[in-house]
Amino acid sequence: MFRKIASSRREFLRRLGGFSLGLSATSVLVTGCTQTKSSGSTRNNQALNADQALQELMEGNKRYVASKPTRPDQTAEYRIEVAKGQHPFAVIVGCSDSRVPPEIVFDQGLGDLFVIRVAGNVVDNEALGSIEYAAEEFKVPLVVVLGHERCGAVKATIDAIEKGGEVPGHIKSLVDAIRPSVEKAKEQTGDLLDNAVRANVARVVGQLKASGPILSEFAHAGKLRIVGARYDLDTGAVESL
């Protein structure tokens, strides 16, 4: 049964347009066999396990906090190389907040991160499908759910709960998704907004780990690690949760 499901997945991915599985022989040689990057980096994204991928992210964040970014994999030469195929080493599920761009926060470059951004770092079916695609097609070993200090979407949910009234437009869908995290945070002592941000990250991490058949299967098999983190707007530091 598993073989049949896996086979159907591969067939579906082949039909998505061939932009990854349909690489030319030349691009395979460039991105796979050489295991080097024209920007000068010798890191091979495909060889990283989850722990190494997380270490790469945290080391990049340390460079960013210290104002010593290396801005890897951003040369014109590497742009041409990565256009032939991508091998991201981590998925970042982040908030749309303009102050939290993952590639800058983690000091990474083109082709390094597979990023899904929605206000409040919540996930719907489309976001889940995007994460599944990265795990299935690119064998990405790590997913990081990245919340952040003073998240506006979480604050809007707190206001909606405390003040009542109608939430305009499709913002209601964000509030509905974040509401359980706020309700849980209200049971805790301390700053409600920050507690809710942390609870929201934990809830999404749990949602991803339980999402079948792909993510839960990969997580259970040790092929995929799913973790939470919080970004501090003031210091620029990322904290593992």
CATH number, domain with residue 13:
3.40.1050.10
Among candidates 238, 31, 17, which has minimal Cα distance to 146? 238
Q: How many residues does the chain have?
A: 241
Distance CA 146, CA 119 (A): 11
What is the pLDDT, as a whole number, of residue 200? 98
What is the pLDDT, as a whole number, of residue 6? 54
- Average pLDDT of each block of 10 consecutive residues along the chain (241 residues)? 51 48 30 37 82 97 97 92 94 98 97 98 97 97 98 96 90 96 96 98 98 96 97 98 96
What is the pLDDT, as a whole number, of residue 164? 86
User: pTM for the full model?
Assistant: 0.84
What is the pLDDT, as a whole number, of residue 43? 73
Query: Bridge-partner residues for 230, per DSSP?
Result: 147, 239
DSSP 154: H
Is 123 in a helix, a strand, or coil?
coil
What is the pLDDT, as a whole number, of residue 41? 55
Residue 235 CA: distances (Å) to CA of 61, 152, 182, 238: 11, 18, 24, 9
What is the pLDDT, as a whole number, of residue 92? 98
What is the pLDDT, as a whole number, of residue 26? 28
What is the pLDDT, as a whole number, of residue 166? 84
Q: How many structural domains comprise the chain?
A: 1
178 is in which domain, residue-wise?
A: 2-240
